[in-house]
Amino acid sequence: MKIDFLLPLSLFLIVTLSLLLSEKIEKKIKMILGEKKLGTREIFLMVISMSIMVSLIILLPTYWIQILFIIAFSYMLLIFTYLLLGKWFLAIIPPAIFVASYLLIYTMMEDILIVNTVISIFTAFFAVMIITYMNSLFSWRITVLFAVLLTVMDVIQVFLTTHMIEAANKMITLRLPVAMILPTFPLMGYMVLGLGDVFLSGLLSTQAAYKYGRRAGFLIAASISLALFIFEALIFNLEIELRGFPATIIVLLGCLLGLGIHNIEKRLTKCLG
C-alpha cells in the first residue's frame, strides 16, 4: 500500500503551532485590532476579492506579482515578529532573511529539493502568521460561512475556470511561498498543498478551540490531517491522475469528522457521568 506521512504530519504541526501561538499572543493582537469581528458582508467581499485576485494573477506581469508578494510577506513578518518579541530592531531580521533567501533561490539556486524545502518552510511560517493574526477577527459562525464560501470558490476556480491551477503554477514557478511542496515519504515524488488550504485548516481548528475547548481544536487539527492522509492514499493506490483538486473539500470533510468525534465523546461522557 502506497502512503505518505510527511505532508499530513507537517499540516498537523503547523496547525498545532498556530493554536499554541494564538493563545499566547491573543491579547497583543486584540490591542491592535480591538474587539472587531468580521461580519457576513465582509466575508462575502473577502471571498469575492480572493477569487478576483486569483484570476488577476494570471494576467499580471511576473515582476508585479513578485514585488507585491515580497512587500506583503515582508510586512507580515515584520509585524508578527514585533508582536512576539516586542522590539523593532529584532523584528527587522526575519523580513531581511526572507528577501535575501528569496532572491537567492530565485536567481541562483538550481537544486529543486532545496528550493522546495525553503519555499515550504516560508509557506509554513506565513500560514502560522496569517492564522494567528486573522483568528481574532473571526467568530465560529463566520468561520463556518467563510469555509463554505471558500470551498465553493475553490471548486469553481479549479474545475470550471481552472484559474486556481494556472495561478498556483505561475506563483510556484516564480518560487513564491504560496504552497507547501514536500517530497512524499516513503514514496518518491512531490505533493502540493496551498497556503489558503493550510490557513483554512488552522482557522477552523483555532475557532473550534475557542468554541468547544482546546481539546476540540487539536482533535480537528488531527482529523483534517487524517483526511489529507486518506486522500493521498486513495490517489496513490487508485493511480488517479488529477491536474488539480480543491483541497478545501478535504479540509471541510476533516473538520466534520473531528466535530463528529467531539460530539460522540461529549455524549458518551454525559452518559457515563
Using alpha carbons, list the distances in angstroms from residue 45 to 48, 150, 174, 212: 5, 11, 28, 28
pLDDT for the residue numbered 62? 92
The neighbour count for residue 175, using CB atoms within 10 Å, is: 19
- Whole-number pLDDT of residue 88: 86
pLDDT at position 28 over 80: no
Q: List, for residues 88-141, the tens digit of each pLDDT value.
A: 888 899 999 999 999 999 988 888 888 999 999 999 999 999 998 888 889 999
In the predicted structure, residue 19 carries a pLDDT above the cut 80: yes
CA angle 216, 224, 166 (to 5 degrees): 140
Q: How crowded is residue 93: how many other Cβ atoms within 10 Å of its Cβ?
A: 13
pLDDT at residue 181, rounded to an integer: 93
Q: Residue 192 belongs to what H/E stretch?
A: strand 190-194
What grid cell was written down for 9?
504530519
Radius of gyration (Cα) for the chain, nearest Å? 19
Give the model confidence (pLDDT) of 200-234 as tens digits.
999 999 999 999 999 999 999 999 999 999 999 99
Q: Is the pLDDT of residue 2 over 90?
A: no
State the Cα angle at 223 between 121 and 234, rounded to 5°.
85
The reported pLDDT for the residue numbered 238 is 84
The tens digit of pLDDT for each residue in 136-174 reads 889 999 999 999 999 999 999 999 999 999 999 999 999
Per-residue pLDDT of 64-93, as tens digits, reads 999 999 999 999 899 888 877 878 888 899
Question: Please, which pLDDT band fits residue 273 given cuts at 50, 70 and 90?
Answer: low
pLDDT for 221 equals 96
At 109 the pLDDT is 85
Structure confidence at residue 33 (pLDDT): 67
The pLDDT confidence band at residue 187, using thresholds 50, 70 and 90, is low
- The alpha helices in the chain, defined as continuous H runs, are 6-33, 40-59, 62-85, 88-91, 93-107, 112-134, 140-155, 163-173, 195-212, 214-238, 247-272
> What is the greatest pairwise CA distance in the chain?
63
Q: Of 255, 265, 263, 267, which Cα lies nearest the Cα of 205?
A: 255
**238-266 per-position pLDDT tens digit:** 877 778 899 999 999 999 999 999 999 88
Q: Is the pLDDT of residue 26 over 90?
A: no
Residue 179 has a CB neighbour count (10 Å cut-off) of 22
